[in-house]
Structure 1
Amino acid sequence: MVYTIHGWSFNKDIWMKTPFANAFHLELPGHGNSPLQITNIYEVAKKFGKSIKSSSTVVGWSIGASVAILMAVYFPEKINKLILYSPTPLFCGMSQPEVICKRFLKKLSRDFETTVTWFRKECGFSDIYPLPDKDKAIKLLESYMNLDLRNIIPEVFVKTDIIVGLKDEVTKLSGAFCCFSLFPFSSIKIFPDKFHFLF
C-alpha cells in the first residue's frame, strides 16, 4: 500500500497529476478534509502510523516528509520504503534562519491569506488553491519549526529515496543532503530546474 502526505498549506490534490494519484492520501490537520484536531507533529505521525497497513510505502513532501520519517520511527514494522520530496531534518536553524521563521509566523498571524499565497509562489506554485484552517495550520507549522530529526534519522533503517529541486529556496538542497547523509539506506536525486514544489 502507498500513502502520501502533502506539504504545508496544500492538501491531497497536489498528488493528482503524479504517479501517486491512486495512493491513499493522508491530510494534515487543518488542511483539505482532514478530521484531525491535533496539531503536534509527533502526535500526527502517531495517528497516521496507526492507520496504515503493513508493508507500506510512505511518500512525503516537505513537512509531509518529516511526518513520514517520524512514522518510520514509531512504526518501523509497517513501513518498507520512504520516498521523501524536499525533506530537511531541521527547518529552523538549517534550511531557514530562526529569525526568518519567527517573521513568517508573525506575518501569518497578521495576514494569513496574503502570506500563504506568497509562500506558495516561493515554492514554485502559482495555481489557485483553497486555504487551510488558519489556527490549525499555524500551530502545526510551529510544531514543525521546533522539530529536529538529526538524532532520529540514523535509527530509520528503511530504504529511502530523496528527491529535491536545485532551486528549492524553502527546505533547500542542504536540507536534502543532510537527510541523505544521515539515513543508513538512502539515495538522492536532484532536479536542476525544479523548485520546492516538484510536481
Structure 2
Amino acid sequence: MTSPSAAGPAAATRSDAARNRGRLLDAAAGLIAERGSDVDVREIARRAEVGMGTLYRHFPTKEALLDAALEHVFTSWADAASAALTGRPWSDLGGFLGDALRRQTASPGLLDAYCQALPGQAGSTARQYCRQQVGPLIAELVRAAHESGELRPDITAEDVSLLLVALGRIAPVVPEPAWRRILHVSLDGLRSSAATPMPAPARPPGDA
C-alpha cells in the first residue's frame, strides 16, 4: 500500500506533467494557427515556458507534437461546430462555412493544416483525425441540406470542402464584409433553385 507521504509527491509530479503537456499543446496549436506547421520546436517550448527536455519527454519528435496539437485544434473546431447546429439545414451549412472562414482569418495556419487533411493528400495521424472529425460533419450538413431540398442534389461533401479551401484563400486578405459577400454569392450558387447543369467531371489522366 502506498503511504500518504509517497502518494503526495507522485500526485504532484503527475499534475505538473499534465500541466506541462497542456501548455505545450496550447503553444503548438497557437503557433500552427499563426504560421502553419513549419514552426521551430524551440519556439514552442519558449511559448509554453518549459525546457526542451520537458518537451521531448512528452513528445519525442516534432511530428508527434504537431500531430497532437492539430488533433486538439480539429477536435475543438468540430465540437464547436456541432454545438452550434440549429436543426435548420441551410442555416447550419452557411453558419458552418462562415465560422470556418472566421477561424481561418484569425488563424491563417489552420487553412494549410486543413488542406493537408483533404482526401488525396498524404497525411499524418492528425490529418487523418481531421478527416474523421470535420469530414463527417460536412457530410452530415450536406446530407441534411439535400433532404431539405435546399441544396442542389449534385453537390457533394467534397465540393463543399474544396469551396471552403477556395474561400479560405480569399478571407484572410480582404475585410470581413468583402468575404461575407463572396460567401453569400457562393451559397446562392449552391441552392437547388439556382441550379444549372454541372460540368462533366474531369477524366482521370490517361483515359481516352
* TM, length-normalised to structure 1: 0.23
Structure that is richer in helix per residue: 2
Higher RCO (CA 8 Å, separation ≥ 6 residues): 1
If the length of structure 2 is used for normalisation, what is the TM-score?
Answer: 0.22
Structure with the larger strand share: 1
Structure number with bigger Rg? 2
